[in-house]
Amino acid sequence: MRKPLIPGLGLAAVLLTAALASCSGGEDPPPSGADAGNTPPDAGTPPVDGGTPDAGGDAGGDAGMDAGVDAGGDSGIPDAGEDGDAGTPDGGGDAGPGVPDGSVVIPNSLSGFGLFTGSPADGGLKPVAGNVPYELTTPLFSDYAVKSRTLHVPPGKAAGYHARDVLDLPVGTLITKTFAFPADLREPDKDVRVIETRVLVRQPGGWEAYPYFWNEAQTEATLANGGRVVRDVQLIDEQGVTRKFDYLVPSKNQCLKCHHVLDGAQNQVMVPIGVKARYLNREHTYGDGQTRNQLQHLAGLGMLTGLPPLPEVPHAPDAFDSEAADLDTRARTYLDINCAHCHNPKSQAGETSRLFLDIATMDKFSLGICKRPGSAGSGVGGEFDIVPGSPSVSILWYRLNTEESGKMMPELGRAIRHDQGSQLIFDWIDAMPDRSCEE
């Protein structure tokens, strides 16, 4: 548990800053105190998509799509000075210290949560006892960022086990995800720069999401509700190829685009995504040097109740370990963790596209097979989402593979292609028995 969140992250991180160009938002003032005191009702009063004050005031456009790789066209980019979080119903004072209902006060600085000691500049960011690091069997791809995650459940409380859905997490739960870029992915512990730490907070009224952006000195991360753009990130990928792109730290409002389900009244309700038994069901080497199954570790700490014997717990394989599962299972797992938070029957994008990529979907048409896209026009690689046996004319593969903003999928959260993921889905479609969709 005391393992450095990002091993080997020390002074090297500071030296690297030169390799990553400046960020646009470094100079703006920290969000006001009132802002930071955002109160629970946030999740209960979700902004309708169109009305969401996405950072950058990008005239209804989606910052994620617009920002993409096209550096110059700044319009959609969340930028300095937009941290005001205008449309959010700020509760101002009522989340003060000592709130009786268990609300978590949202600090302006990440250190204010008390979840970590140290910093990337000072020996590495280390989770405190009770803030348990975890990994997923297959994670979301985000421009090759190296991610580390932690889960904190308030003392005396526990998460409830679920076979399929996210764990049932109590009020006061804090989940963090930290994004960092090593200069060279083949040496992920060297020359690392930590960019952002995202925090999900379980308040009495529901979940809230907050982005914290690390300073260049790597000593502190500050609440950045408006998001950020880090220009000209450069790294060497696993194949030794240099990749350069603008990395987008999503704004607070953009978190909801992925982290939501629609409730009965079609409101977007914020939810966590990855903390599901099947993704947590793997081993992790903890600070004491011991390797344990993560779910059993949490249960052993009293942080998880209702865990059945491990053979009964579902398991999502590592999508890129061909020994771990067959091609179909691995491809479906990749789509589940990378796409299903939007493409499922209970989300906004699922409603729009009627394309369901969650692991539970068995209906071939809903998976995209011989399905004509509802929305996209021409120029997305074909006429059908999936043409069995023909990946190169399948829209699903095209949109996963392209780096063109407005066309690429996910529409938010990446600027560059995930070569491995693109290959996996290509192989998956290629292996399907040939079939013409025109008949």
Question: Is residue 66 a contact point for ligand HEC (CB under 6 A)?
Answer: no
Question: Is residue 177 a contact point for ligand HEC (CB under 6 A)?
Answer: yes
Judged by CB under 6 A, the chain residues 178 through 217 that form the site for ligand HEC are 198-200, 209-211
Angle between helix axes 419-430 and 327-339 (nearest 10 degrees) is: 130
* Closer residue to ligand HEC, CB minimum distance, 132 or 409: 409
Question: Is residue 376 a contact point for ligand HEC (CB under 6 A)?
Answer: yes
Question: In the set 25, 120, 317, 373, which binds ligand HEC (CB under 6 A)?
Answer: 373
The identity of residue 403, as a single letter, is E
**Three-state SS annotation for the chain:** CCCCCCCCCCHHHHHHHHHCCCECCCCCCCCCHHHHCCCCHHHHCCCCHHHCCCCCCCCCCCHHHHHCCCCCCHHHCCCCCCCCCCCCCCCHHHHCCCCCCCCCCCCCEHHHHCCEEEECCEEEEEECCCEEEECCCCCCCCCCCEEEEEEECCCCCCEECCCCCECECCCCCEEEEEEEEECECCCCCCCEEEEEEEEEEEECCEEEEEEEEECCCCCCEEECCCCEEEEEEEEECCCCCEEEEEEEECCHHHHHHHCEEECCCCCEEECCCCCEHHHHCCEEECCCCCEEEHHHHHHHCCCEECCCCHHHCCCCCCCCCCCCCCHHHHHHHHHHHHHCCCCCCCCHHHHHHCCCCCCCCCCCCCCCECCCCCCCCCCCCCCECECCCCHHHEHHHHHHHCCCCCCCCCCCCCCCCCHHHHHHHHHHHHCCCCCCCCC
Distance CA 117, CA 201 (A): 19
Distance CA 130, CA 172 (A): 13
Question: In the set 149, 193, 202, 228, which binds ligand HEC (CB under 6 A)?
Answer: 149
231: number of Cβ within 10 Å? 16
* Closer residue to ligand HEC, CB minimum distance, 182 or 250: 250
Question: Is residue 126 a contact point for ligand HEC (CB under 6 A)?
Answer: no
* Least distance to ligand HEC, CB of residue 100, Å: 26
Q: Which range of residues in 10-18, 23-31, 233-241, 368-376 is near ligand HEC by CB under 6 A? A: 368-376
Question: In the set 272, 317, 381, 382, which binds ligand HEC (CB under 6 A)?
Answer: 272
Question: Is residue 223 a contact point for ligand HEC (CB under 6 A)?
Answer: no
Query: What φ, ψ does residue 233 adopt, rounded to 5°?
Result: -65, 135
* Closer residue to ligand HEC, CB minimum distance, 67 or 121: 67
Question: In the set 140, 192, 280, 387, which binds ligand HEC (CB under 6 A)?
Answer: 140
* Closer residue to ligand HEC, CB minimum distance, 326 or 351: 351
Question: Is residue 152 a contact point for ligand HEC (CB under 6 A)?
Answer: no
* Least distance to ligand HEC, CB of residue 18, Å: 26
| Residue 102 falls in which region: left (phi positive, over 0), alpha (psi -120 to 50) or beta | left
145: number of Cβ within 10 Å? 22
* Least distance to ligand HEC, CB of residue 384, Å: 9
- The binding track of 377-416 with respect to ligand HEC, each residue x by CB under 6 A or -, is --------x---------xx--xx--------xxxxx---
Question: Is residue 374 a contact point for ligand HEC (CB under 6 A)?
Answer: yes
Alpha-carbon radius of gyration of the chain: 21
- The binding track of 313-352 with respect to ligand HEC, each residue x by CB under 6 A or -, is ------------------------xxx-xxx-----x--x
Question: Is residue 259 a contact point for ligand HEC (CB under 6 A)?
Answer: yes
* Closer residue to ligand HEC, CB minimum distance, 10 or 278: 278
Question: In the set 37, 76, 124, 139, which binds ligand HEC (CB under 6 A)?
Answer: 139
Question: In the set 250, 317, 381, 382, which binds ligand HEC (CB under 6 A)?
Answer: 250
* Closer residue to ligand HEC, CB minimum distance, 285 or 352: 352
Question: Is residue 258 a contact point for ligand HEC (CB under 6 A)?
Answer: yes
Q: Which range of residues in 86-94, 271-279, 287-295, 296-304 is near ligand HEC by CB under 6 A? A: 271-279
Question: Is residue 278 a contact point for ligand HEC (CB under 6 A)?
Answer: no
Question: In the set 43, 355, 359, 424, which binds ligand HEC (CB under 6 A)?
Answer: 355
Question: Is residue 115 a contact point for ligand HEC (CB under 6 A)?
Answer: no
* Least distance to ligand HEC, CB of residue 28, Å: 17
Residues that bind ligand HEC (CB under 6 A): 136, 139-140, 149, 175-177, 198-200, 209-211, 250, 252, 254-255, 257-259, 272-275, 337-339, 341-343, 349, 352-353, 355, 368, 371, 373-376, 385, 395-396, 399-400, 409-413
